[in-house]
């Protein structure tokens, strides 16, 4: 082995080790955060947390029942808005991919994807809160839905394109209209992937705080009304975290723990769906 080769081999080893180190370096904050969230949050979780309302400032106890319900309602509204809009838009883009209109829409979806969530919040405030002069769960849900749309559009479009052309041709040959072919044959074939996209989008918005600040506001009480302000885990965790009360800090960690668990579950479900889709496509 020449000296040159030896030197190059050493360089190679050094850089490979650095890459391995990079992985470890990235995993350290992940471990720290998860460790802290679990340590502080799991201990603070008790039955009260899930069933009680927040107590007044300074009194200990109470829980975040309204915030948990609020977050579920908000992502429900977001999905109700984003799923039909995103899927149908994705369907259009995959069925008519070459048109100028489709290119423009694709461009718009990419733009929407990059908009910071706080800007979306300002937009939702302007069109959904100011004109009706009230904060509402709907405004918050729609703000979150706007953030979901680009993800749903992109995954729907790409997955529908992956469906083998033979399926569509077969359906059309049997006399189905375009619409029928798409909704009865192609979409069901791509459904696991589309669901994955929806779950990924839900996971993204479940952790959002900024857009909710000026739309859903917050609510100390139990409320499931769509036209009233509504509490949410993220905003509540934020309010408690910056407070000086230790009891509220504990609850903030518990809320953070719950949030992380929720998002983890959604992303695990998404991964399982992808695995199933890959298995289906292989068979």
Partner 1 sequence: MTRSSDDRSFRIGTGAFAALVLLIVAGIAFELTRQSTLSITKFGLKFWTTKVWDPVSGDFGALPFIWGTLYSSILALLVATPIALGIAIFISELSPRMLRQPLAYLTELLAAIPSIVYGLWGIFVLVPIVRKVEIAMGAKPALGVGMLAAALILAVMVIPFTSSVAREILKNVPTTQREAAYALGATRWEAIKVAIGFGRTGIIGAVMLGFGRALGETMAVTMVIGNSPQISASLFKPQYTMAAVIANEFTEAADELYLHALIEIGLLLFIITVGVNLLSRLLIWSTKRRAVTTVIAPVVAEVAA
Partner 2 sequence: MKLKTFAVLLSIALAACQSNESKTPTAAAPMTINGAGATFPYPIYSKWFDEYQKAHPDVRINYQSIGSGGGIKQLTAQTVFFGASDGPMTDAQLKAAPGAVLHFPTVLGGVVPVYNVTGVTQPLRFTGAVLADIYLGKITKWNDAAIVAVNPGVKLPADDIAVVHRSDGSGTTYIFCDFLSKVSADYKSKVGVATSVNWPAGVGAKGNEGVSGLVRQTPGAIGYVELIYALQNKMTYGSVQNKAGQFVTASLDSVTAAATGAAIPDDFRVSITNADGAAAYPIASFTWLLLYEHPKDAARGKAMVDFLKWALTDGQKFAPLLGYAPLPQPVVAKEMQALGKIQ
Residue 92 binds to partner 1 (criterion: CB under 8 A):
yes
Q: Smallest Cα–Cα separation from 187: which of 92, 278, 272?
A: 92
Nearer to partner 1, 50 or 125 (CB): 125
Q: Please, are residues 67 and 49 in contact by the beta-carbon 8 Å criterion?
A: no
Shortest Å distance, C-beta 83 to partner 2: 8
Report the helix count and the strand count for the chain, using DSSP H and E. 13, 0
Which residues pair with residue 54 across a beta bridge? 62
**Interface with partner 1 by CB under 8 A: which range of 49-57, 97-105, 188-196, 223-231?**
97-105
Tokens of 113: 């994807």
Residue 103 binds to partner 1 (criterion: CB under 8 A):
no
**DSSP for residue 220:** S
279 touches, from partner 2, partner 1, none (C-beta below 5 to 8 Å by class): none
- Alpha-carbon distances of 117 from 28, 112, 147, 213, 244, rounded to whole Å: 27, 10, 7, 11, 27
Shortest Å distance, C-beta 69 to partner 2: 11
Residue 238 binds to partner 1 (criterion: CB under 8 A):
yes
Tokens of 140: 């918050």
Residue 98 binds to partner 1 (criterion: CB under 8 A):
no
Q: 158-177: which residues touch partner 1 (CB under 8 A)?
A: 177
Shortest Å distance, C-beta 214 to partner 1: 6
Q: Out of 77, 159, 252, 273, name the contact with partner 1 by CB under 8 A.
A: 252
Query: Interface residues with partner 2 (CB under 8 A)?
Result: 55-58, 73, 80, 84, 87, 129-130, 133-135, 183-184, 187-188, 217-221, 223-229, 242-245
Residue 116 binds to partner 1 (criterion: CB under 8 A):
yes
**DSSP for residue 53:** P
Nearer to partner 2, 49 or 217 (CB): 217
- Alpha-carbon distances of 151 from 70, 89, 191, rounded to whole Å: 23, 11, 15
How far does Cα 169 stand from its chain's mean position? 35
Round to whole Å and give the CA distance between 108 and 111.
5
Nearer to partner 2, 15 or 221 (CB): 221
Q: Out of 39, 46, 51, 108, name the contact with partner 1 by CB under 8 A.
A: 108
């Amino acid at each position: 082995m020449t000296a040159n080769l030896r030197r190059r081999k050493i360089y190679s080893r050094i850089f490979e080790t650095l890459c391995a180190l990079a992985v470890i370096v990235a995993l350290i904050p992940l471990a720290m955060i998860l460790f802290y969230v679990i340590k502080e949050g799991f201990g603070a979780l008790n039955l009260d947390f899930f069933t009680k309302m927040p107590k007044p400032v300074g009194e200990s106890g109470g829980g975040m029942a309204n915030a948990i319900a609020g977050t579920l309602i908000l992502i429900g509204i977001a999905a109700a808005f984003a799923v039909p809009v995103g899927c149908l838009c994705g369907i259009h883009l995959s069925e008519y991919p070459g048109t100028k209109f489709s290119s423009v829409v694709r461009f718009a979806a990419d733009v929407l994807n990059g908009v910071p969530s706080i800007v979306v919040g300002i937009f939702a405030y302007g069109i959904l809160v100011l004109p009706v002069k009230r904060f509402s769960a709907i405004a918050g849900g729609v703000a979150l839905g706007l953030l979901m749309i680009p993800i749903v559009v992109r995954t729907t479009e790409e997955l529908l394109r992956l469906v083998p052309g033979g399926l569509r041709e077969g359906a059309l040959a049997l006399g189905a209209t375009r619409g029928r072919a798409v909704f009865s044959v192609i979409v069901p074939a791509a459904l696991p992937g589309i669901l994955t996209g929806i779950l990924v989008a839900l996971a993204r918005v479940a952790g959002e705080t900024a857009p909710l600040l000026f739309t859903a506001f917050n609510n100390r009480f139990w409320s499931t009304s769509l036209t009233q302000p509504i509490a949410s885990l993220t905003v509540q965790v934020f309010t408690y975290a910056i407070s000086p009360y230790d009891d509220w800090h504990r609850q903030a960690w518990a809320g953070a723990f719950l949030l992380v668990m929720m998002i983890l579950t959604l992303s695990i479900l998404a991964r399982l769906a992808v695995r199933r889709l890959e298995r289906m496509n292989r068979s």
